[in-house]
Structure 1
């Protein structure tokens, strides 16, 4: 099986790095923190929108900072142009999510369906983009992971709207675990692509 540029795909689950240098650990910690912040601030923003809390604007602003923080993390590795492009795609993912929540809260089915459609298109764009910049990142695998991420977030929003709090909290645990899988997949691909950079 081959990736976008014809490189053989690397199965990060079957072939994890065997040794962890301090630089590898630092990268993994950084990406895990960013993905955890991604889902943490998404959850808080969803809650603020649905409950019409006064912190909605500042909470949303902090959520959107996650896209810029991802860009800053990737810039030393991939350069400013690629980092900025990824940050823009991720910002789109976050802003569409907020649109979707507001449409669902208002009972605007047409707007919700439009946002959902654009949300999945954005997820597919992210998967394609990542597969193009790293031969060890599979477009199909990233698409699968991103679609699962959206499915879980949609369920989180739905259970919050329905006031099914126990299921909502349980979904939060699933979302965090799945986000950490994406972080590890991202870390492993970068290490495989730039092994010399992470020897120390």
Structure 2
């Protein structure tokens, strides 16, 4: 977490982006939950929810672009969009009972997670590939546990997992934010 004395040396627009990074993972968890509820209950329009979920990588990419440029931002945005699409496809495959598609989506989800970790570690020395990979894997594991609780109608456990997912989204968001802060400060020091 970024302390008060650290904030004083960073422009407010950069601080806003850093703090935004802490909330992105919470939004993914919440909108994924909305999608699960919609699919399993028939309430609401799951496509509208998925469309909103799909905007999160674009918002993230726009912030990313300011620090790492268009090419890196576009690549990361595409990977995060693909990850969200694959989680959606996993949920849809589970509902259909298509075990082959479920297994294929799980493999692809982790392949994309690996690619995201590699990319992040390449662009920022304060994001360590193994640490990022571990954070993403744990996050995805909780998402997948949550999808299973809906399938087996274990709603009490689902709430517990969702609570853990929200807490964990803070951990992963803080890691991203601290890494970005360190990157900014490192670049400021080099410029002086």
TM-score, normalisation: structure 2: 0.89
Structure 1 equivalent of residue 155 of structure 2: 165
* Residue 41 (structure 2) pairs with residue 31 (structure 1): no
* Residue 7 (structure 2) pairs with residue 20 (structure 1): yes
**Aligned-pair CA distance for 1:15:** 10
Structure 2 equivalent of residue 150 of structure 1: 140
The answer to which of 42-51 and 121-130 deviates more is 42-51
**Aligned-pair CA distance for 1:96:** 0.2
Alignment of 1:47-196 (within 5 A): 47-195=37-185
Long gaps (5+) in structure 1:
1-13
**Aligned-pair CA distance for 1:79:** 1.2
The answer to which of 27-36 and 122-131 deviates more is 27-36
Separation (CA, whole Å) in 2 of partners of 1:165 and 1:176: 16
* Residue 29 (structure 2) pairs with residue 42 (structure 1): no
Higher helix share: 2
Long gaps (5+) in structure 2:
none
TM-score, normalisation: structure 1: 0.85
User: What is the SS of the residue equivalent to 2:6?
Assistant: coil
User: What is the SS of the residue equivalent to 1:101?
Assistant: helix
The answer to which of 154-163 and 27-36 deviates more is 27-36
**Aligned-pair CA distance for 1:162:** 1.1
Separation (CA, whole Å) in 1 of partners of 2:136 and 2:75: 17
Q: What is the root-mean-square deviation of aligned Cα atoms in Å?
A: 2.3
